[in-house]
Structure 1
């Protein structure tokens, strides 16, 4: 194929398409791969603002003979979402639920709408779209249609193809039409009308007629056949349904502009029965027996290997603990109109198979929360198996084969034998066993020539194996490049020829996602790694101990699952939620860092650590560390960002905010000379404006107010003898910069509470710091020096094993996680990591017997700091609040948006506030007037108070101390005195999160690309 004129193409797209057109290195790098083993750098990217703009983009590409790839969530595991083409990303703007017809149970959607968001909007009608893949929080309906997605609920509702009524499609050569079931008289009318549409329908009719017997014989009669084109939908008995024939065609035939979908009622009641077995093959053997006696809404399985990985990773342990005894499990879920009905279905199955609810290998639940806990263990499969703790790399390649359910046990035994033959030790086997679909990730050696050769031989043998069972190469994730070359082994030459004729009919120039399904690229071609991959191996500041001490391995933790593109819940990834930009997701940034490493002749990023494309993508990373805990493979983008910035700015001038905010602990100490004068200067209108401009601080932000008396000053003036470090009652209260110089009432309150609990408090009075602000701005050499000095001051306490109590979550997280990675050989760092505790951890787990926290007896809205969520967790805090009789609503609304220095830096304010408006700020505004607002993080408190909520936020230590003194007013006047502030312009923030975020993302990206 002759490469198109990309400069002319880009210019034409910019001139004619209402959308964001990007041919820059950063955008191309972020879209170079999906969730598969494959990598192809795009020609460019179009993000259309409307469906019509997307159609126009296709027309312009056709004029330049440029290949096109339609993309939704980009989570494909078979390589169908990566191509050397113009990528049309529908997921940012084309996300409307156009209409709902509750009576007919149908809706019309645009291709970019995410499944969970669709179902959220359908909830008032008590309807939902039936198929639910594990990527439901971020997969787009257009992608589900392209991929014929399924998920666990397909047991009850079928595949996507079974739930599509009509599709509005556009061919590469410009034919646009609504398609669906087409009776003979309708076909005759279309064909007699002439033109390109008549040609298409006549061709479809010819293919269906010519290959009718082959289709009837050659398509496996199993519930999970996703491989190949749906020619069976063109059979007379299936209504010659053109829409269904195009479902699962992976963007190789047409572009889907809109879809009319069938909906199903949301089941009001559910129950879950979990059965334990000795091994996964025995569980598979029992599937047909289970199906004989019931019609479950889900029938899932997981094996002992996955359970082992969860235990080794310390992940989903609450889910595992809810399972019955066994080494493998079947999970049988029932749905119905009454609790009695679903309970009886489960008990009827137990009677039929001769098992009892009281057996140790049986668990039954009709509690929705417990059910979801158990099902999460199965849904977590891809993330858990993608990066095992033993550091073996596992890959897709035989990820979702499917066989008749009654033959599943024997198939698994043969598949295990194939694993042994190729020395692929112990891959996990799990999946949708009720429909015979098996998921696995295999430790293919994709870095060496021999490993790649074995990979190819294995998938060829596995294809022959599944075909011998009357199964399908793909039962869920499609063909793409992983299985396109293998289709003849399943369907035979004649049906694959029919696939080629369908492709030639609808896309005669082979420009729609070329190289997938038909005329496919080799299964071992265009690999993301491959034997020729020779990336840079840079030396680093951080040690990356969980990644074989390799920056490269840390970057490659991202396997493209895409959970960072979720719209709600958890922390990850706030900047994506605000901007809806792939480049600002954890995955997009990881892709750019991967491209930065080079090793491919066509690497999108060619300037290594100096890359402005990587810098710009990382610039809007809030370093919240949410990905470290919420990403299924534990990508720690905050650490990767700090490492990148250390190299990017090495030997040259940094942004002004790095000197202002990065060196904040130094400026805070200097403020002690004249804090009132400093505050006056920081808030004097003209002087403050000039100072912010000089310091790189956004003018919309109010400068924080320095306390008149710091905590350490108060401590020095307090009468008392320094306790003995060896005294078991002694604890060190860490004087972090924020609690010392800005909010000293917090540290004073902590002293009050700790002493009430019987502890003797020690406070370092020499200047100390954890180095957080230097780490977050990538000044890692300075951070090490700061930490080294701090360790010297703390040494007597470290040697005595004295607990160190942290009040500011971000500083505590540095000691727990960042410092050990930055200074792995320093034993004092390791000691400190083991001795540092949160206030709640100390009070819940180490307070003397008999001590109880004061009774608060109040409602509270609680914002968890992102670093606490990611590193220390919040269990102890929740237990402490429970013991204090605090009715706590712990928000699951993500990051506050300020995130340390991020929200203060010039150019970040819009995104910072948009993140806050996604959940935290509206939740605080909605809190009852007489309830408490609790936030342990300085950033969270600042954002809440400057975000137009009208509320002050307390640290938990303050709430406990006030309760001890019997003084807990609803308005918290003591905080007003402690923190005098001026009215902030952010208090007038009223823009909705979505509009602000999209606008902010467009402004930021546009400015960068113009520059």
Structure 2
């Protein structure tokens, strides 16, 4: 075919003239899925993980690929742009555009078929990589490429970016692991594509219609540009920039699927993919090498490559320092060898001996001055890989340093030139005043990740950023490298491709674009005819957010809510489906706006002056997104940049409802401490009312409580009443005094927990004190955004405890959420209160106190198996190491669940409209684990919410606090030493009894006593 017949795009980014209302109506009428044109949805999808922001026209969440095809047809009829989006974690801006966004991740995540013999499977684009590999694992197979975002990246997104990850060292990029793709053009051609034999190609080009035209044009492209492709495409393992025209070369089998991989939704929509699979690695060994600097580490790469490692990653000392500052991955950092830069080298083998042997061969070949350690145990390996995979989050928002940004994020050079590149890059950063940013990445492939402290909020800073990127591009190209080695071109590098490929190949890219998308409606402005790299910035020189006064101090964000709202970098870890706590509502709904990232995006839009979200603190879009936030605080720890959505939600609710009638649940549950004190005057009468069906239904309706919930029964005798009746404190007091904090939940609902804690503390030779006046941490007011009342409660509590605080007496919190308020929220609500600071520093959990102040005390031998649910606030704020150690010391064989949030989360699960999400959170992992547990196992949960959720869902299981399990195993003391006259004995076991069945019986009896009012 004569090259002159090759098409060129007829219009460059043509304007969108479609009526959005008519478009939305047509989509809703014809598409099986969810169609979102509301301001909140558009704002949530306005950014990805890049520096860019573009408001989409609307969002479509198709239930099937066929529904997505219908959405494409509607968009073509209305002549509007399209953008396919997976996990939305792209770092170059290719996942935001003024287009209709198709989000595949909510519904289209099926493993369609698996042929284990041929090692191929067919999947839908929205399936998450880790989820896919979990389904493949029973067959001994997996998908090879593994980006650092593997818990949340989708296969469709990986195809769009030609993703790689650390395992690309062995398995290559996505383009090397694709068998076929089912694709759809904007104008409606649907077909499967892949490698094409000469005979099949001849048949295709001789036909009629759109498919034949495409293949004829692709043949013409190959004939016209083949030699330029061979000449100008860098021969390196990580060339991700540009279109894969090399896949059309005869030596690559005229692979149209390979051509389309990495095209960033600019050519076609991928409906399904057939993936090539690899066997799961059976055994691994990890060697970590230490070098004096990152340049020396890079210079050592070729010698290591000679040993054919499975993966070869690099990390510099700046990344390690950043993680230490942010308290990330302490276990992994602790076992690094000496040095200021590191190579992480992994070997695999069919046997442990084979993997270890490869590691030893490398170590034996190393110079003596290279420090090293090696690990073949999975725990240490996982800890060290977290050091590497936390790179993006660890280098963003480092306290005491300027914010860092992508923009020159993942260039790649020949591995043998990596040292030269890193030294040149460091010199360039110094020249532009950017210091020495952390670098890390896939050193075996010469690919380097970094974030740079660009100033993106002034015209001068943006100009300097642009100049730096242009110079950095010249550096990489001069070394024979690629502008992108993993994350694609998008807008960050699209404008620079002409420097790398030359004008002739840019013309080839434009012609390829015209073959598949002649109307330029597929993700326009990215890769081909790109926006300038300093356009559409999320911040930019004209960024002037509102700076509202706040109640919380936001010390990590210079006291500015706008900075807190801009903290999210979009990496999407909150969209993972397993592990950790964050984000329970996303896991239940798979909704972007109900992820931590989605909520952060809406808050960011709320403080802008040019956003579809308006109304400021009164914004209904933000209120709707925050409604399903459980305030679990999981994001405070799990989010790599420590977004604390629970605090943001409390601040928002405070302003949103200021001067207005609040939801009924804010009164019934926000004011629970007051309600409980009133109920304490007649607990039996209150319980009778709340247990009578008609009266309970009316009470729940009045209080805005979910009708599906049982109302917890008030104890007939509060702990504080029992304490007063008991008289003087007991115990030797040899280890000093402690204040046992009687939180509302323990005092009024589960007083047996506090009584058990008294027994344990006195057995450990502490003298227990209990406040003589009512105290409260203010948690329920915080979670409902009634922050003035929360501060009043905290000031009162600090005043009651003042003498003890000044005397340095520790305060023991039994309810994790209340202890977490003292350890975190209180000092942000009252930052200038010395007493609140003392309360923060002196608050301990029971396990922490025993470990710190009584390390030689031997806990009673419980000798039981237990399923243990960590409270979210233990996980996120308090930590669980002390509890883990105490469980071990007490002989409890603990299965500590990595089950996420229980779903009740204080008031959340009780509020009307939240029941389904609450139970979906619990059913994700917690409740199945409880059901699987043997009947003679303890179910331990320190949190009132966790125990309540378990007890109401699984009525034959009786969850208990750790204090109760320990107290049940204590030797039985003389009755007069513990009980005031006229009360039942505390323990129901003979002295020294420790059998699991008897302990369970004790806990069951205690719960029965509590229900009868005996406790």
TM-score range, shorter chain: over 0.9
For residue 260 of structure 1, give the secondary structure of its aligned residue in structure 2: strand
Give the superposition deviation at 1:345.
Answer: 1.1
Give the superposition deviation at 1:975.
Answer: 3.4
Partner of 2:290: 276
Partner of 1:191: 205
Partner of 1:442: 452
Partner of 1:342: 355
The aligned runs of 1:980-999 (5 Å cut-off) are 980=1011
Determine whether 1:148 maps to 2:156.
no
Distance 2:722 2:498 in 1: 79
Distance 1:670 1:689 in 2: 20
The match for 1:720 among 698, 720, 728 is 728
Partner of 1:909: 915
Comparing 470-479 with 373-382, greater Cα deviation is found at 373-382
Kept after mapping to 1: 8 A contact 2:34/2:60: yes
Partner of 1:38: 52
Cα deviations by residue, 1:223-263 (Å, 9 ceiling, x for unpaired): 00000000000001111000000000000000000000100
Partner of 1:810: 817
Partner of 1:660: 668
For residue 1011 of structure 2, give the secondary structure of its aligned residue in structure 1: coil
Distance 2:36 2:910 in 1: 29
Partner of 1:19: 33
Give the superposition deviation at 1:557.
Answer: 1.6
Determine whether 1:505 maps to 2:518.
no
Equivalences, count = 974
Distance 1:722 1:334 in 2: 60
Distance 2:750 2:327 in 1: 35
Determine whether 1:733 maps to 2:743.
no
Distance 2:731 2:456 in 1: 59
Give the superposition deviation at 1:291.
Answer: 1.2
Kept after mapping to 2: 8 A contact 1:745/1:978: no
For residue 543 of structure 1, give the secondary structure of its aligned residue in structure 2: coil
Cα deviations by residue, 1:879-923 (Å, 9 ceiling, x for unpaired): 011110110110001000000000000000000001000000100
Kept after mapping to 1: 8 A contact 2:664/2:703: yes
Determine whether 1:955 maps to 2:961.
yes
Q: Mark the CA change 1:981 to 1:227 in structure 2 (over 3 Å): closer, same or farther.
A: farther
Give the superposition deviation at 1:791.
Answer: 1.1
Partner of 1:4: 18
Give the superposition deviation at 1:2.
Answer: 3.1
Partner of 1:179: 193
Comparing 384-393 with 703-712, greater Cα deviation is found at 384-393
Cα deviations by residue, 1:17-48 (Å, 9 ceiling, x for unpaired): 00000100111111010000000011111000
Comparing 537-546 with 388-397, greater Cα deviation is found at 388-397
Kept after mapping to 2: 8 A contact 1:722/1:762: no
Kept after mapping to 1: 8 A contact 2:196/2:253: yes
Comparing 965-974 with 661-670, greater Cα deviation is found at 965-974
Distance 1:981 1:888 in 2: 31
Distance 2:663 2:402 in 1: 40
Kept after mapping to 2: 8 A contact 1:705/1:742: yes
Distance 2:516 2:1012 in 1: 65
Give the superposition deviation at 1:947.
Answer: 1.3
Distance 1:321 1:168 in 2: 47
Kept after mapping to 2: 8 A contact 1:705/1:981: no
Partner of 1:1001: none
What are the ranges of 5 or more consecutive residues in structure 2 without an aligned counterpart? 1-14, 973-991
For residue 438 of structure 1, give the secondary structure of its aligned residue in structure 2: strand
Distance 1:718 1:958 in 2: 19
Determine whether 1:853 maps to 2:859.
yes
The aligned runs of 1:130-169 (5 Å cut-off) are 130-169=144-183
The aligned runs of 1:921-932 (5 Å cut-off) are 921-932=927-938
Partner of 1:835: 842
Partner of 1:975: 1006
The match for 1:583 among 593, 601, 610 is 593
The match for 2:333 among 320, 323, 348 is 320
Determine whether 1:59 maps to 2:65.
no
Partner of 2:10: none
Partner of 1:254: 268
Partner of 2:557: 547
Give the superposition deviation at 1:450.
Answer: 0.3
TM-score, normalization by structure 2: 0.95
Give the superposition deviation at 1:331.
Answer: 0.7
For residue 895 of structure 2, give the secondary structure of its aligned residue in structure 1: strand
Cα deviations by residue, 1:759-818 (Å, 9 ceiling, x for unpaired): 000001211100000000000011111111111111111111110000000000000000
Q: Mark the CA change 1:145 to 1:721 in structure 2 (over 3 Å): closer, same or farther.
A: closer
Give the superposition deviation at 1:680.
Answer: 0.3
Partner of 2:613: 605
Partner of 1:756: 763
Distance 1:810 1:511 in 2: 51
Cα deviations by residue, 1:274-306 (Å, 9 ceiling, x for unpaired): 1100000000001011112x1111000100101
For residue 553 of structure 2, give the secondary structure of its aligned residue in structure 1: coil
Partner of 2:372: 362
Q: Mark the CA change 1:423 to 1:763 in structure 2 (over 3 Å): closer, same or farther.
A: same
Kept after mapping to 2: 8 A contact 1:145/1:247: yes
Partner of 1:635: 643
For residue 471 of structure 2, give the secondary structure of its aligned residue in structure 1: helix
For residue 362 of structure 1, give the secondary structure of its aligned residue in structure 2: strand
Kept after mapping to 2: 8 A contact 1:381/1:430: yes
For residue 53 of structure 1, give the secondary structure of its aligned residue in structure 2: helix
For residue 496 of structure 1, give the secondary structure of its aligned residue in structure 2: helix
Give the superposition deviation at 1:3.
Answer: 3.2
What are the ranges of 5 or more consecutive residues in structure 1 without an aligned counterpart? 983-1011
Cα deviations by residue, 1:55-80 (Å, 9 ceiling, x for unpaired): 10010011101111100000000000
Q: Mark the CA change 1:945 to 1:242 in structure 2 (over 3 Å): closer, same or farther.
A: same
Kept after mapping to 2: 8 A contact 1:211/1:498: yes
Distance 2:692 2:439 in 1: 65
Distance 1:979 1:50 in 2: 52
Partner of 2:794: 787
Distance 1:722 1:750 in 2: 13
Determine whether 1:234 maps to 2:242.
no
| RMSD of aligned Cα (Å) | 1.4
The aligned runs of 1:73-92 (5 Å cut-off) are 73-92=87-106
For residue 79 of structure 1, give the secondary structure of its aligned residue in structure 2: coil
Give the superposition deviation at 1:949.
Answer: 5.8
For residue 124 of structure 1, give the secondary structure of its aligned residue in structure 2: helix
Determine whether 1:475 maps to 2:488.
no
The aligned runs of 1:483-502 (5 Å cut-off) are 483-502=493-512
Kept after mapping to 2: 8 A contact 1:924/1:949: no
Give the superposition deviation at 1:722.
Answer: 9.6
Give the superposition deviation at 1:367.
Answer: 1.3
For residue 595 of structure 1, give the secondary structure of its aligned residue in structure 2: helix
Distance 1:135 1:28 in 2: 24
Partner of 2:942: 936
Determine whether 1:569 maps to 2:579.
yes
